[in-house]
Structure 1
């Protein structure tokens, strides 16, 4: 029964954590095996800094990360801008406490298969040449793979994606979007610029088959969000200690996991733009 419930929620089956264990998750924005490896090391770091047991539990979808947070199956999460807003709306007292140095000025890349003949465009130029193509977003709940790119496309071109493109798809994550556009299954798509850089560095991108043709204006994105009852559960001042441990994370191998050059403080007001856009697009009540 327990395993069935966890699978229904999109959680990878794992033993229940003890009450004194800090459990965290992260949106599955890239390949799941890679996520498991990188966040296992982060769990070890936090356990040493905070002197409590820390466990990372992967989830299978963006929506599942929000559900796990709402149900108190995790107390800490590395959310995208939109999933963080969703989670904090569902859990009174939840707080954004840290973000990557790069996250206040995040951006998305529109990529295209080389066979389209599209060439890189100036940022200020509306990508009119995208009209009529097949187009893939990432997850439906992705800030950089759906929410903000859709907002900017509507703003620049004056129409919803369904009217702009011949066919619209949702790949589920950035890695899959890149694969789909590179293979020609979709002619164009949109991805997090950090995910694109990761895939290029790993050798997964064939520049002869796919390239970046446009980048969005900047917007706030990822952040660490905590439930509001951590001090009650782990002792007075625990949330502040956790925030400081995240900000003090300096080991290159840990920062490369995100990837970020470091972390800085964050609060809920930093994501007001995301909340406004999500409400305008009808994705948030």
Structure 2
């Protein structure tokens, strides 16, 4: 290779390297430096964006790194995104959290709402059924049109199915004339209120918030039974975040959540405050999911 061609070749290689570094550097920095989190879509998307956009701002300021909230379309998508490291932090339900941690070794539950160790599912019914509130499981729901929430929901599917099987002695498909999956809790309420389904299972927090905000017509649909308490929602973080953001980062995120005091932020969940959580808190959820064949869905 003559000198002029060699020099030109070397300059070209250097120029390409510089261009490549300029193109790639921002992408790499963004990938490494931005903490991405999401949440199970237990309500409509507009509500979720309003809730978690503010949380992203709080975490960005507290952790002193960019933090971004990314919505997902389904419970399964939140688990998949976490497994694939598209999300490093997530607000999961009990079942989705167990699924995500099982698929992502080293990940751990770090915080939960003060109310979450004793969470409840409400069974609601359209008034045309004539069903009334009671302490005992309402066996009269057998044969009716029944809707769960999401297939991956703890409060909208796992725990109500557990109690249906326990009290009716059969699967939901064998217990009801029709079985549906609304996709989220607010949709469950709307479907039962309209009469499309006669009975449904809903997260008690969503029901109580909708009633308080007069977003449900209690002349058409009402609460008929509450499950016993069980552990549910929690924040789960990937086990490799310390390798990305430095030793102790996971503990720093946990502390930021525990220190969240702004009533406006907490009301968006809604929770009074966050308390520590651990993987061991959800062993009962894991065992229940295994018992009725839902863990691998």
Cα deviation, residue 18, structure 1: 3.0
Answer yes or no: is 1:134 the counterpart of 2:133.
Answer: no
**For the aligned residues, what is the CA RMSD?**
1.2
Distance of 2:221 and 2:295 partners within structure 1 = 33
Partner of 2:252: 241
Who wins on radius of gyration, i.e. which is larger? Answer: 2
Aligned-pair distance for 1:204? 1.2
What does residue 191 of structure 1 align with?
Answer: 202
Matches of 1:153 and 1:198, distance apart in 2: 25
Gaps of 5+ in 2: 1-26
**Structure 1 residues 148-157 or 175-184, which shifts more?**
148-157
Q: Does 1:78 align with 2:91?
A: yes
Higher normalized helix content (fraction of residues): 2
Q: Of 216, 225, 241, which aligns to 2:227?
A: 216
Aligned partners of 1:130 and 1:169: how far apart in 2? 14
Looking at structure 1, the residues matched to 253 and 129 of structure 2 have their Cα atoms a distance apart, in angstroms, of 48
Aligned to 1:226: 237
1:100 — aligned with what? 113
From 99, 103, 128, the counterpart of 1:90:
103
Distance 1:173 1:284 in 2: 19
Q: Structure 1 regions of 5+ residues with no counterpart?
A: 1-14
In the TM superposition, residue 218 of structure 1 has moved relative to its aligned partner by: 0.7
| Equivalent pair of 2:152/2:158 in contact (CA under 8 Å) | yes
Correspondence 1:58-73 to 2 at 5 A: 58-73=71-86
Give the distance between the partners of 2:278 and 2:101, measured in 1 at CA: 11
Task: Provide the rounded CA distance (Å) in 2 between the counterparts of 1:24 and 1:67.
Answer: 13
Greater shift after overlay, 243-252 or 150-159?
Answer: 150-159
In structure 1, the residue matched to 2:174 is 163
CA distance in 2, matches of 1:126, 1:236: 49
Indicate the residue corresponding to 1:207 in structure 2.
218
Indicate the larger mover: 73-82 or 160-169.
160-169
| Conservation of the 8 A alpha-carbon contact between 2:137 and 2:225 | no
Q: Deviations over 1:145-187 (max 9, x none)?
A: 0001110121122111111111100000001000000000000
Query: How much does 1:246 deviate?
Result: 0.3
Q: How much does 1:279 deviate?
A: 0.4
**TM-score (structure 1 length as normaliser):** 0.92
2:111–2:274 contact (8 Å) kept in structure 1: yes
Tell me how many residue pairs correspond in the alignment: 269
